[in-house]
Amino acid sequence: GDVAVLVPAAGAGVRLGPGGPKALRLLGGEPLLVHAVRRVAAARGVRQIVIAAPPADVAFVAELLAPIAEVTVVPGGADRQSSVSAALSAVPVDVDVVLVHDAARALAPAALVESVAEAVRGGAGAVIPVLPVVDTIKEVDAAETVLGTVDRSTLRAVQTPQGFRRDLLIAAHAAAIAAHTDDAGMVEKLGERVICVPGSDLAMKITRPIDLVLAEHLLTHEAG
């Protein structure tokens, strides 16, 4: 079946510091969004790419990406969830696999896009790429007093692209009330099974200034 990839890219990038919308900030001289879309477009089976852009930058983003791939650009919303909803509305009915991929994970490799899409095509309704948690995790109370140590062996750090059967993602967004930080969280609320596939170090999320430093290094030494 055909695969559509939604790219939420409408965030302000507050945690990255001043410098405009995060998806348009430069990494190796090119906007994060260009890096992300180039890798998505290189993945096998991707038929449609829908970008949720900062509303003021819709025309600019369309021009920016025209040489990279054929994309649809829609204005994003006030939070990530509404940006994904807006992009989802632009997916044609004959697409049966939809991936959601943060522009902020600019270096996620095409192979990761393919492995998530493959798992959905293989019959999973919802698929997320994950890595083991490396830090020891403590639960604390409001006064920052430790309540206990969580068993990290059963925890996973979650990345994007996340992949879904189209009808399941639509149902999850239709049912969602509270703001969720990822799409699989909404699917979980429906009581549907979400499965994990191995994530990638290159799919790290660029959130704080130090992440941009790491990403510059990864870009220079991309291979691993």
What is the 3 state secondary structure string of 84-113? HHHHHCCCCCCCCEEEECCCCCCCCCHHHH
Cβ of residue 195: shortest distance to ligand CTP, in angstroms?
22
Report 7-36 residues binding Mg ion (CB under 5 A): 11
Cβ distance 116 to 161 under 8 Å?
Answer: yes
Report how far residue 43's alpha carbon sits from residue 121's, in angstroms, rounded to the nearest whole number: 14
Element (H, E) at 51: strand 46-53
- Residues with Cβ < 8 Å from 28, sequence gap 6 or more? 35, 216, 219, 220
Q: Which is nearer to ligand CTP, 3 or 183 (CB)?
A: 183
* Window contacting ligand CTP (CB under 6 A); options: 72-80, 114-122, 190-198, 214-222: 72-80
Minimum Å distance from CB 19 to ligand CTP?
A: 11
> 148 — phi, psi (to 5°)?
170, 170
Q: With binding defined as CB under 6 A, does residue 102 bind ligand CTP?
A: yes
Rounded CA gap, 64 and 122, in Å? Answer: 34
- Which member of 3, 6, 13, 65 binds ligand CTP (CB under 6 A)? 13
Interface region with ligand CTP, contact rule CB under 6 A, candidates 59-67, 75-83, 126-134, 190-198: 75-83
Q: Under the criterion CB under 6 A, does residue 57 sit at the interface with ligand CTP?
A: no
Among 31, 76, 185, 199, binds ligand CTP (CB under 6 A): 76
Torsion of Cα atoms, 85 then 91 then 95 then 101, to 10°? -50
Least distance to ligand CTP, CB of residue 101, Å: 8
Partner touching 13 among Mg ion, ligand CTP, none, CB below 5 to 8 Å by kind: ligand CTP
- State whether residue 30 is helix, strand or coil: strand
The residue of the chain with the least Cβ separation from ligand CTP equals 11
Question: Is residue 38 a contact residue for ligand CTP (CB under 6 A)?
Answer: no
Interface positions with ligand CTP (CB under 6 A): 8-15, 22-23, 52, 76-80, 83, 102-104, 205, 207
